[in-house]
Structure 1
Amino acid sequence: MKKVSIIDVAKHAGVSVSTVSLVLRQKGKISEATIGKVNAAITTLGYVHNVAAANLRANTSNLIGLILRDFSDSFSIKVMASIVQELEKQGYMVFLGQPLNDGEHLERTLLSFKQQGVAGVIYLASDTRAASLPEHIRHCPLPLVAVSQSLLEEKCNLVMRDNRQAANLAARYLIERGHRNIAYIGGRDGCRIREQRLLGFRSAMTQNGLVWREEYSPACTDDTQAAAMATRQLLEKNNTITALLCHSPDAMIGSISGIHQVGRTVGKDVFLTQQVALIGFEDMLHVNLTSPSLTYVSSASEETGRQAAGLMIRRLKEPDLQTQRITLSGQLIVRESA
């Protein structure tokens, strides 16, 4: 069967080849009637537009490379989905790469992007201990937008979460409700997300004339069992604690177990001394079938994705655009646990 060409579409629609090309590229001032005729001809003939070939001829690309290292991280997955959705709305497509390391695998991914003719790269950082981007990303010759959950000391187009604001917001809410002995559970030593949140937590305590205690912020590995043990040990030594900030969803689930192990319950009533209030820092909808439902500071994952996609598009349209650093604040979602 003969392959349908743009010439065949033009003949069938009764218009010029250049008009069909403009309709396909959504360029120029073409009447709705003409657009309708061209689209009808495309459907009737079964014409398939070769976008890659068109981009090659025009020396342009609607393909964006997206690098995601950690598919187990719920925040990164939500950001990725938001990026893809926003780029597709603007006529771009995503080429996904998942390098196994920051060395040769990342280098091969970037080479593959170059071979595919991507216009730019969005990098979802996964190392919460690193203060800078991997070397291959820093020297990426293509337009780059980085997305990070923690503060990066890089001069690059960056979209990141404001962890300090999130913890400050959560702590102030608890203090306003009457809590005076508040602790932070979870996060490994050296985790920059944890460090930034502790700064926000400490700031809220100090601003309200409360004493900051280092022993009220035990670090632990990112699993429910470790968080449960850390919570139990903390509450056994300090039975005056009435509220916990939980580093991650696993830390929150583990904390619930630890609270029950010492004979206390989860709840927001500060005057019932057996209750412990809990606040998390991720969208906790997937565990809100529990009772009580969980209070949290949203991760702003969808907005992060939209901002990253928008910044990439602006960067492509304005090559001389100054480097931008976008910091997104979380919103407190009050439910039953605090």
Structure 2
Amino acid sequence: MKKVSIIDVAKQAGVSVSTVSLVLRQKGKISEATIEKVHAAIAALGYVQNVAAANLRANTSNLIGLILRDFSDSFSIKVMASIVQELEKQGYMVFLGQPLNDGEHLERCLLSFQQQGVAGVIYLASDTRSASLPEQIRKCQLPLVVVSQSLLNENCDLVMRDNRQAASLATRYLIERGHRSIAYIGGVEGDLLRQQRLLGFRSAMSQYGLVLREGSTPDCSDDTQAAGYATRQLLENNNTITALLCHSPAAMIGSISGIHQTGRTIGKDVFLSQQVALIGFEDMLHVNLTSPSFTYVSSASEETGRQGAGLMLRKLKEPELQTQRITLSGQLIARESA
């Protein structure tokens, strides 16, 4: 069967080849009637546009390189899905790379992007122990947007979560419901997410004239067993604690075990001394299949993805666009645990 060409479409629609080209590229001032005729001809003939060839002729690309370092990180996965969805709406496709390290693997990934002719690169930073980008990313010659869970000390186009605001919001919510002895559990020492949230936690406590007790912010590895042990130690050493901010889903799940081991229960009634309120920092739908459902401050992952994709598209349209830093606040979702 003969391959249908743009010339065939033009003949079928009764217009010039250049008009068909403009309709396909959504350029120029073409009447709605003409656009409809061209699309009707495309449908009738079964024409499929060779986007790669069109991009080559126009010296443009509809490919965006996306680097995702950690497929086990739920925030990054949700952000990735949102980015892909938003870019596809605008006619772009995503070329995904997952380099194993910051050295030659990352360098090869960026080289592959260049060879594939991507228009720009979106980097999902997942290392919450470093405030700097890998050298290879800093030297990237393509339009670059960085999406990060934590604050970065970099002069780059950046979309990130406001972790300090999230912890302050959660703490104030608990205080306004009568809690006075609140603790933060989880996160390893040196983790930037933990550091930023502790700033918000301490700031909110200070605003209400509340003093943080010594040992009320224990760190631990990000697994349920470690969090359970840390929670038990915390509550045994200070039985006046009535609420916990949980660093991660693992910390939230582990704290349930620790609470029960001390003979206490999960709940938001501050006047029942055996109850401990829990608040997390991201939507944990898999956890909320159990009872009680958990109160949390949303990670704004979908909006983060939309903002990251939108910023990339603006950079492609306006190469001289000034460096942007977009910080997204979370929203508190009140449920049964606090």
Sort the TM-score into its range (normalised by shorter chain).
over 0.9
In 1, Cα distance between equivalents of 2:13 and 2:156: 48
- Once the two structures are superposed, residues 220-272 of structure 1 have per-residue CA deviations (whole angstroms, 9 ceiling, x without a partner) of 11111111111011111111110000001111011111101111000000000
Q: What is the 5 A alignment of 1:182-221? A: 182-221=182-221
Alignment correspondent of 1:332: 332
Match of 1:165 in 2: 165
Q: CA deviation at 1:170?
A: 0.5
SS of 1:100 mapped into structure 2: coil
**TM-score, with normalisation over the residues of structure 1?**
0.98
**Aligned partners of 1:254 and 1:320: how far apart in 2?**
49
Q: Which residue of 2 aligns with 1:17?
A: 17
Paired AA for residue 211 in structure 1: V
CA offset at residue 33 of structure 1?
2.2
Distance 2:251 2:131 in 1: 24
How many angstroms apart in 2 are the aligned matches of 1:207 and 1:117? Answer: 52
For the pair 1:52 / 2:88, whether they are aligned, the reply is no
Cα separation, 2, equivalents of 1:48 and 1:106: 34
Once the two structures are TM-superposed, the CA of residue 292 in structure 1 deviates from its matched residue by 1.1
Structure 1 unpaired stretches of 5+:
none
**Once the 2 structures are TM-superposed, how far is the Cα of residue 40 of structure 1 from its aligned partner?**
2.0
Residue 32 in structure 1 maps to residue 39 in structure 2: no
Give the equivalent residue in structure 1 for 2:261.
261
What one-letter code is carried by the residue in structure 1 that aligns with 2:133? L
Range moving further from structure 2, 132-141 or 35-44: 35-44
Distance 2:123 2:214 in 1: 35
Asked if 1:74 corresponds to 2:74, the answer is yes
- Counterpart of 2:318? 318
- Residue by residue over 1:179-233, the C-alpha shift from the partner in whole angstroms, topping out at 9 and shown as x without a partner, is 1111111101110000000011011111111112341111111111111111011
Q: Give the match for residue 8 of structure 2.
A: 8
| Secondary structure at the counterpart of residue 124 of structure 1 | strand
Deviations 1:101-123 (A, max 9, x none): 11111111101110111111000
Q: Deviations over 1:81-137 (max 9, x none)?
A: 111111111221111111111111111110111011111100000100011101100
CA distance in 1, matches of 2:160, 2:35: 41
CA-atom RMSD, angstroms?
0.9
- State the identity %: 86
The 3 A distance-change label for structure 1 pair 214 and 115 is farther
- The Cα of 1:31 is off from its aligned counterpart by 2.1
Structure 2 counterparts to residues 5-154 of structure 1, below 5 A: 5-154=5-154
Deviation digits for residues 263-291 of structure 1 (CA, Å, limit 9, x no counterpart): 10000000000000000001122221211
One-letter amino acid of the structure 1 residue matched with residue 55 of structure 2: N
1:194 maps to amino acid: R
Flag the 1:214–1:119 CA change in 2: closer, same or farther, 3 A.
Answer: farther
TM-score (norm 2): 0.98
Task: Name the structure 2 match of 1:282.
Answer: 282
Inter-partner Cα distance in structure 1 for 2:131 and 2:288? 33
| Alpha-carbon separation, structure 1, partners of 2:331 and 2:4 | 53
Task: Extract unaligned runs of 5+ from structure 2.
Answer: none
Q: SS in structure 1 opposite 2:215? A: helix
Secondary structure of the 1:164 match is: helix
Residues 38-88 of structure 1: CA deviation (Å, up to 9, x unaligned): 122222222211111111111111211111011111110111111111111
Matched residue, 1:309: 309
SS of equivalent to 2:75: helix
* DSSP-derived class of the 1:216 partner: coil
Structure 2 distance, partners of 1:98, 1:289, is 31
**Which range moved further: 248-257 or 283-292?**
283-292
Deviates more, 1:153-162 or 1:52-61: 52-61
- Return 6-15 or 35-44, whichever deviates more: 35-44
Q: Partners in 2 of 1:4 and 1:264 — Cα distance?
A: 72
How far apart, CA to CA, are the structure 2 residues paired with 1:4 and 1:135? 47
- Give the equivalent residue in structure 2 for 1:252: 252
* Aligned residue in 2 for 1:273: 273
Distance in structure 2 (CA, Å) of the matches to 1:13 and 1:65:
36
Question: What secondary structure sits across from 2:118 in the alignment?
Answer: coil
In structure 2, C-alpha distance between the alignment counterparts of 1:96 and 1:83, rounded to whole Å: 11
Q: How many residues align?
A: 338
Q: Structure 1 residue 177 and structure 2 residue 177: aligned?
A: yes
Query: Counterparts of 1:212 and 1:268 in 2: how far apart (Å)?
Result: 20
- Paired residue secondary structure (1:197): helix
